[in-house]
Structure formats: structure tokens, C-alpha cells
Amino acid sequence: MRKITAAEKIFITGLLLIVLILISMMIGNYELSISDLVAISNNLLGRDYEILFNNPDWSVLYYIRLPRILTVVLVGAALSISGAAYQNIFRNPLVSPDILGVSAGAGLGVALGLLYSSGSILYVYLIAFITGTAAVALTYWLSKLTGGKNAMFMVLAGIVVSSLANALVSLLKYLADPMQNLPGIVFYLMGGFSRSGWQEFYLLLPVVIISLTVILFLRWQLNIFSLGEKEAAALGVDTEKIRMIVIVFSTIMVAAATAAAGQVSWIGLVIPHIARFIVGNKYKYYLPASALLGGLSLLLMDNLARTISGAEIPISIITALIGAPFFAYLLITKKESGWN
């Protein structure tokens, strides 16, 4: 039998994602069947807006489920493609997008926003985006101060900044009113998509699309980058420029994703590995596959989060419960190089 090519695998992943989006529209506390969806699309195509807008199915689908599903897909794609690009520029398969402090920083912004911004979710978004980006800027500045030119200093600086931001989040939690504010902060940071409406989606969309495009644009050079900085430079890659571009766009993308969904763990680390496992390391396939698989798996997990029990389970619990054992499985079974 002929082997399935990497391009075909990506196409299949794309199809699966579309199928899963359709299935996700139907499941939930308020059940929708295929015939309900068909009825809605018939109304849409026939421009029977009167009937459509009075149909509760439509309201559930359009105002609640659809924006949530699309936001989940964006966040999943954003986290995994940043993780994938970071693994190449840091030449390390154990790197995830939060390594430079973006999600800890954005988490601090979420806590600040929820405590001091009179509850407007837009403010929370904005502050989280700013603090997430600022945290990475601080990491970058710190690593410059050490005079260290290699990537290791940057990772260490990231640990410093993340710890600081996490300590400040703890401080804010400690100061927060345990009845009024504390639960809000805790649940927001544990991650979830129950807040996701169209407004949130449209805030996220341009940031993710632009950053994703930029990173995909650099895929060939990122491929060479993974050979190591000196080797890449000798092959004519402007390593400093490429690293800077990837960090900037990955940071704004992950900051926005964290602002929208809280700290979603494991996706950015595990999904790139699954992508490598399926399509290999070649630049043409690895980054697009990471993005698609990221969207697909986070959507799968979000469906679990909202259907497993009557109440919604925070998403980072699910991603960690599935991601950690799966990663262990990969560590045990994947004996090839790349791990030494």
C-alpha cells in the first residue's frame, strides 16, 4: 500500500478539524441534532431571517457555541505554533511558549484587571495583553544585561521573570476579597472558554492570524535555525532578526490567547511533538500541522470540559490531565534521537 504523504496527512487533519467543529456545534447541555443544523442552514440560505431569529437553536448556536468553538481553535493553534517555533529557535524539544514569561505575565494582568478594573472584561484583556508582552520584554532586557549571547541566558531570564510574576499573582490573590474577587481570579487563571463571545473572538482573530502568518512565512528559515545558531548563521540566516520576529509575534499571540482563555498549559509543549511524530520535522509540514493539530486537540478537550460533568471543568485541568500522561508516553516510546 502507498504511504500517505505529509501533505495528505495535513489535509486529513484539516478535514478532521472541520468535522469536529460541526460535531462541537451539536454537543452540550442544549442538544442540537444534524437536522437542527440543516434547518438553520436552510433558513440562512433561504434568507428566512424571521424564522431563524425566533429559533432558540439559532441563538444557542450563533451567540454561544460558534464564537466559543472558533476561539478555542484560535487559541489552540496559537499556542502550538508558538511552541513549535520556539522549539526550533531554542533548539530544544522541551520548550513551550511560556518559557519567556508571557503566560505568567498575562496571568498577572488578569489578576490586576479583575481586581482593579471594575469588572469590564475588555480592560482585563487589555491589561493581560500588556503585562504578558511586558514580561517578555523584561526577560529580553535581563538576558541582554547578563551579556549572554546564547539562548540559555534568555531561558534563565524567563524563569526569573515568570517567578516574579507568579509571586505577584499570589500576592494579589492574598490581598483579594476571598468572597468577592478571589474565586474570579482563580477560575480565570485555570483557563476556560465559557466567557468567549464574538467580541472576544474578534479581539483575538487579527492578532492570531497576523502572527500565525508571519511565523508560517519564516518556516524555511526556522527549519535551518534548528541546526543551532552558529550553523544557521553560517548558512546565511540572520539569526538575531529571525529570533526577534518569532519572539515578538509569538508573544503577542500567546498574550492575547492567555487574556482570552487563561493559562492553558501543555498544549504548546505536547502538540508540536505530535506534529513532528505525524509529519516529521520538515518546514513545509511541521508548522502548519502544529497549528491545525493545536486547534483540533484543544477543541476536543474543550468539548470534554463542557460535557463531562454538569458544571464546566477549567480547561487547564483537562489539558494537563491528558497532556502530561501523553507526553510521558511519547518519552517512553519515542526512542529516536532528538531527545538526547
340 binds another protein (CB under 8 A): yes
Under 8 Å between Cβ of 24 and 70: no
Q: Give the shortest CB-195-to-another protein separation in angstroms.
A: 37
Dihedral over alpha carbons 88, 93, 99, 104 (to 10 degrees): 120
Comparison of 86 and 193: residue with beta carbon closer to another protein: 86
Which of 238, 325, 328, 331 binds another protein (CB under 8 A)? It is 238
Q: Which stretch binds another protein (CB under 8 A): 112-120, 166-174, 183-191, 331-339?
A: 331-339
Q: Which of residues 262-281 bind another protein (CB under 8 A)?
A: 276, 280-281
Under 8 Å CB-to-CB from 104, ≥6 apart: which residues?
98, 135, 161, 162, 163, 165, 166, 169, 263
Comparison of 87 and 103: residue with beta carbon closer to another protein: 87
Q: Report the C-alpha gap between 230 and 151 in whole angstroms.
A: 12
Q: Which stretch binds another protein (CB under 8 A): 129-137, 157-165, 175-183, 216-224?
A: 216-224
Which of 284, 304, 312, 322 binds another protein (CB under 8 A)? It is 284
Q: How far is CA 114 from the centre of its chain?
A: 21
Question: Residue 284 carries which side chain, given as an amino acid letter?
Answer: K
Q: Give the shortest CB-9-to-another protein separation in angstroms.
A: 16
Under 8 Å between Cβ of 206 and 74: no
Q: Give the shortest CB-331-to-another protein separation in angstroms.
A: 15
88 binds another protein (CB under 8 A): yes
C-alpha cell recorded at residue 51: 424564522
Comparison of 77 and 237: residue with beta carbon closer to another protein: 237
**Residue in the structure block whose three cell numbers are 502548519:** 288
SS3 228: coil
Comparison of 119 and 228: residue with beta carbon closer to another protein: 228
Which of 236, 310, 333, 335 binds another protein (CB under 8 A)? It is 236
Question: Residue 30 carries which side chain, given as an amino acid letter?
Answer: Y
SS3 178: coil
Count residues contacting another protein (CB under 8 A)?
A: 33
Q: Which stretch binds another protein (CB under 8 A): 45-53, 96-104, 161-169, 217-225?
A: 217-225
The phi, psi pair for 128, rounded to 5°, reads -60, -40
Q: Residue 276 to residues 9, 54, 291, 292: CA-CA distances in angstroms?
A: 12, 47, 12, 13
Q: What is the binding site for another protein (CB under 8 A)?
A: 87-88, 91-93, 217-218, 220-221, 223-224, 226-228, 230-231, 233-239, 276, 280-284, 336-338, 340
